[in-house]
Chains A and B, each alone.
Chain A
């Protein structure tokens, strides 16, 4: 069963629009970590953020913000005032102790930002 669900396969926005990428996860661990990675066309996965299960504080980094809600098992990612350079595939991933901390990725959301 898929442990990380990214329901949005593709999103297309116009530059300067705000966009939210959804991530829902499933785990029985009490201690776990959630990650977001960005994959540009070059293929490299670029680390964006890590959040542990005990820290529900939202985080903002420039135009990026993350909303972690344990009650709904969600870890959503918002890009404010999107730019063309934000076009990429974004992956949400779960890391659990009982899987040896291997990353369990969602299917990814392909974001296209047009001028």
Chain B
């Protein structure tokens, strides 16, 4: 079974630009979550999507948004990029939301803001 696939693996952007990251969950998994990992703040929950609807949201500004498609693939978008948005963005999937099934993570997208 293929794991969680994130593209691209690396991105370099400049301040003020916007970026879109993509995540394909494990086949059969319908819940997709996004996490941001930085050296200072560690791993922080961004949001979770299920059935094309945002089901849960962390404490991030509105510049961070996401969406999910009917095939469960998800994208996250960050607008008006700031230097502090430089991070590893991890996507995770599990079969159902509102459950404590283990989340399975992708390799992440490393975003660098110049």
Q: Is the CB of A50 within 8 A of B42?
A: no
Within the complex, which residue of B35, B48, B92 is in contact with A100, where a contact is CB–CB below 8 Å?
Answer: B48
> Chain B 15-51, CB within 8 Å of chain A: the 1/0 string?
0000000000000000001010000001111001000
Kindly list chain B residues whose C-beta atoms are within 8 Å of the C-beta of A108: 42-43
B66 at the binding interface (Cβ < 8 Å): no
Most buried by B among A42, A99, A105: A105
Q: Is the CB of B42 within 8 A of A45?
A: no
Kindly list chain B residues whose C-beta atoms are within 8 Å of the C-beta of A104: 45
What DSSP secondary structure best describes chain A's contact surface? strand
Q: Is the CB of B110 within 8 A of A101?
A: no
Residue of A nearest to B56 (CB): A100
| Distance in Å: Cβ of A53 to nearest Cβ of chain B | 10
Most buried by B among A43, A50, A95: A43
| Distance in Å: Cβ of A33 to nearest Cβ of chain B | 4
Within the complex, which residue of A50, A91, A100 is in contact with B102, where a contact is CB–CB below 8 Å?
Answer: A50
**Which of B69-77, B78-86, B93-101 lies on the face that meets chain A?**
B93-101
Interface set of A (CB-CB < 8 Å, partner B): 33, 35, 37, 42-47, 50, 52, 91, 93, 95, 99-108
Instruction: List 19 A–B pairs whose Cβ atoms lie within 8 Å, in order of A's numbering.
Output: A44-B106, A44-B107, A45-B90, A45-B105, A47-B104, A50-B100, A52-B100, A100-B55, A101-B100, A102-B33, A102-B45, A102-B48, A102-B58, A103-B45, A105-B42, A105-B43, A105-B44, A106-B42, A108-B42
